[in-house]
């Protein structure tokens, strides 16, 4: 099977080589860049399937590179895995808000990095599937076509916004989403969705889902995810 092309961006040669070696060993085609400007040029010319991106780069930093990519039609859906020494909650939130798909702090385990890259690429494929198809997770069934949710075979009455949040999170298991990302993805017709009201929606959703409410996990200081 042909694997994706991956661009690794870092200004430290030893990090570049470590990441390149481990990804190449998994069969990925890896290209490298040492600055933000070079990264933007290579992304636009090579269109990699995923970018492993350091934040502290000479010239254009990693956050600005991400902002540029997410604002361009041809590159806005290219997954970005941030790999950086900046590990504060605020840094992680900013990265996710800009559209990063994952965030790994240095020092890091090469095995974990490879696993996270594989997970992001797998989710990229899953995301392309029809979002209107029925989804079953253990005792939970979500049917967007019927706007129906079943828990252990019993229908659960959800508002438009609650249903949208559940469907959005459940189809991206393991992904962490900030409140603002959830607001952008789910525009409720029955509720004025704001970043603060997302918490209220999640509380009500968990209560209505009963035992299946445990699938929606809180990521402290960041947001929410659906248990993988």
Residue 186 sits in a domain of what CATH number?
1.10.10.10
pLDDT at 128: 56
Tell me the whole-structure pTM to 2 decimals: 0.63
Cα radius of gyration (the chain)? 19
The CA-to-CA distance between both ends of the chain, in Å, stands at: 25
**Domain hosting residue 204, numbered range:** 135-226
In tens, the pLDDT along 79-112 reads 999 998 887 888 888 888 888 888 999 999 999 9
Is residue 50 domain-shared with residue 95, that is, in the same domain? yes
Last residue of a domain, one of 79, 110, 127: 127
Is residue 122 domain-shared with residue 168, that is, in the same domain? no
Is residue 98 domain-shared with residue 82, that is, in the same domain? yes
Number of domains present in the structure of the chain: 2
Length of the chain: 228
Is residue 139 domain-shared with residue 74, that is, in the same domain? no
Is residue 14 domain-shared with residue 122, that is, in the same domain? yes
Q: Which residues of the chain have pLDDT under 50?
A: 1, 188-191
Is residue 215 domain-shared with residue 163, that is, in the same domain? yes
In tens, the pLDDT along 197-208 reads 889 899 999 999
pLDDT at 1: 45
Is residue 101 domain-shared with residue 143, that is, in the same domain? no
Is residue 45 domain-shared with residue 116, that is, in the same domain? yes
CATH of the domain at 65: 3.40.50.2300
- Alpha carbons 117 and 225: distance in angstroms, whole number: 18
Is residue 86 domain-shared with residue 182, that is, in the same domain? no
Is residue 181 domain-shared with residue 119, that is, in the same domain? no
Cis peptide, bond prior to residue 127, ω within 30 of zero? no
Residue 67 to residues 89, 97, 129, 145: CA-CA distances in angstroms?
A: 19, 10, 26, 34
pLDDT at 196: 75
Contact 224, 202 (CB under 8 A): yes
Is residue 94 domain-shared with residue 153, that is, in the same domain? no
Reading the block at residue 176, the tokens are 């962490």
pLDDT at 144: 87
């Amino acid at each position: 099977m042909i694997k994706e092309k991956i661009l690794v961006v870092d200004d430290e040669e030893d990090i570049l080589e470590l990441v390149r070696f481990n990804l190449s060993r998994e069969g990925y085609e890896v290209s490298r860049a040492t600055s933000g400007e070079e990264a933007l040029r290579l992304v636009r010319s090579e269109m990699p399937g995923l970018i492993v991106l350091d934040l502290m780069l000479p010239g254009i930093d990693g956050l600005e590179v991400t902002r540029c990519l997410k604002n361009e039609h041809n590159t806005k859906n290219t997954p970005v895995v941030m790999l950086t020494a900046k590990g504060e909650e605020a840094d992680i939130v900013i990265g996710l808000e800009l559209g990063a798909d994952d965030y790994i702090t240095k020092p890091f385990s090469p095995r974990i990095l490879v696993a996270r890259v594989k997970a992001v690429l797998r989710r990229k494929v899953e995301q392309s599937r029809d979002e209107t198809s029925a989804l079953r997770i253990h005792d939970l069934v979500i049917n967007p076509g019927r706007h129906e949710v079943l828990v252990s075979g019993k229908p659960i009455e959800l508002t438009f916004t609650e249903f949208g949040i559940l469907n959005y999170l459940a189809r991206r298991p393991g992904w962490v989403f900030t409140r603002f990302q959830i607001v952008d993805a789910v525009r409720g017709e029955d509720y004025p969705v704001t970043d603060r009201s997302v918490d209220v929606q999640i509380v009500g959703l968990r209560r209505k889902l009963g035992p299946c409410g445990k699938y929606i996990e809180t990521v402290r200081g960041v947001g929410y995810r659906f248990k993988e």
